[in-house]
Amino acid sequence: MLDIFRKRRMWKRQPELKDSYDVVIIGGGSHGLATAYYLRKEHGITNVAVLEKRYIGSGAAGRNTTILRSNYKTPEGARFYDASVKLYEGLSQELNFNLLFSQCGHLTLAHSDRAMFVMANRAEVNRLQGIDSRLIYPDEIKQLAPAMQVDNPNTTFPVIGALYHPPGGIIRHDAVVWGLARGADHGGAELHQNTEVLGMDRSNGRVTQVRTNRGNIRCGQVLNCTAGWSTIINDMVGVPLPITTHILQACVTEAMKPLLDVVIVSSQMHVYLSQTDRGEFLMGAEIEPWTTYRMQGTLNFLQDVSRHVLELFPQLERARLLRSWAGLCDLSPDYSPILGKTEVDNFHVSAGWGTYGFKAAPIVGKTLAELVATNRTPDLIAPFALERFYEDKLVSELAAAAVSH
């Protein structure tokens, strides 16, 4: 209770920018902050600056729908996200900050035989990686989500089964951002908000200087952790990324009594929802097909998402929508991240996070910190190297990614 009216600052007042840092992290979202945190925690590297053009968490980290899970389609993806969920399990205690992680379970609904086949395949891949994931049928779905219309004869897409992933769930995104920021700050990293990277100088295959609106910085290593803006930053050093940026929208209802304590996703209906600890129904859909950096929502989204949610939960017919918003998503061609080294010696990336990158924050931080400290690519992220697009070694998560949070 004492900390509700906290007098102590979460992190130090913003210092002046120094002339140089060992590590410059561009982007104060979950990935940039996690990397700063693990640099100190695992490797004792403290001369680190996180540069954020607005305020920390102002990007997708503060706009996402907070779903964590690891039941991915490829062994590479499943292994990677599983390592992240496991880190999240201990993160509240480690950061001494309650992240409200609820492993309430995650249901991906199947509405066709084809979907059941794809999910059976996913469950097999998951179990081979030691991940709890299995196909279930309407009787068990009804037990897990008694308020959901499973047998509605008038529904466009009948529910015939689901992929059930018990360790999946939801967390508080703002708590994750603040907890990691405080952890990074206590470890000695400097958090520079309102500090926009405007350009970078490159010489002899290295980035020598980062130019910002508050002055120029010499740098040991530079990390691009800007997600939706990652192509802009990469272009500054002449390393193009095969990424397009789209908006993803979400909305919440007013708070309701507890009705749902599992995450529901339907790829075919292009909808997903969960009920937050405050009682709001948090709902979303798939990315919009056009590319943009303008985070403006649409009426179409609200109409479509409401229609589909009401087919599953007619009880929400009179629930009022409180807020809706949009955030940027950086989509790679195979729906897997682009992570690690680039052709520029001291410039590394964390990009291609599409609609699913929040769950990866701790493992991105840990593995990128290891790369920076040792100059070696950890095995877990080797499959996600940028070179895969030149070597034709894609890690295709497309089949599992229609609504892919």
Comparison of 129 and 355: residue with beta carbon closer to ligand FAD? 355
- Other CB atoms within a 10 A radius of the CB of residue 343 amount to 11
Q: What is the CA radius of gyration of the chain?
A: 21
Q: Which is nearer to ligand FAD, 244 or 315 (CB)?
A: 244
Q: Are 214 and 279 in contact (CB under 8 A)?
A: no
The reply on whether position 403 binds ligand FAD by CB under 6 A is no
Q: How many CB atoms lie within 10 A of CB 114?
A: 10
Instruction: Count residues near ligand FAD (CB under 6 A).
Output: 40
Burial 164-194 (b: 16+ CB within 10 A, else e): bbbbbbbbbbebbbbbbbbbbbbbebbbbee
∠ CA 380-381-382, rounded to 5°: 100
Q: Contact between 210 and ligand FAD (CB under 6 A)?
A: no
Question: Rule CB under 6 A: is residue 169 a binding residue for ligand FAD?
Answer: no
Only one of the segments 156-164, 221-229, 372-380, 385-393 lies at the binding site for ligand FAD (rule: CB under 6 A); that segment is: 221-229
Nearer to ligand FAD, 120 or 402 (CB): 402
> In the chain, count of helices (H) and strands (E)?
9, 18
Strand partners, 331: 244
Tokens of 21: 């840092």
The answer to whether residue 351 forms part of the interface with ligand FAD (CB under 6 A) is: no
Could you tell me which stretch among 200-208, 225-233, 373-381, 386-394 binds ligand FAD (CB under 6 A)?
225-233
Cβ at position 325, least distance to ligand FAD in Å = 7
107 near ligand FAD (CB under 6 A): no
Instruction: Compare residues 272 and 313 and give the one whose CB is closer to ligand FAD.
Output: 272
Pairing between β-strand 244-255 and β-strand 280-284 as defined by DSSP bridges: antiparallel
Among 25, 36, 67, 316, binds ligand FAD (CB under 6 A): 67
Q: Give residues in contact with ligand FAD (CB under 6 A).
A: 26-32, 51-54, 58-61, 63-67, 196-197, 225-229, 233, 248, 250, 284, 327, 329, 353, 355-359, 405
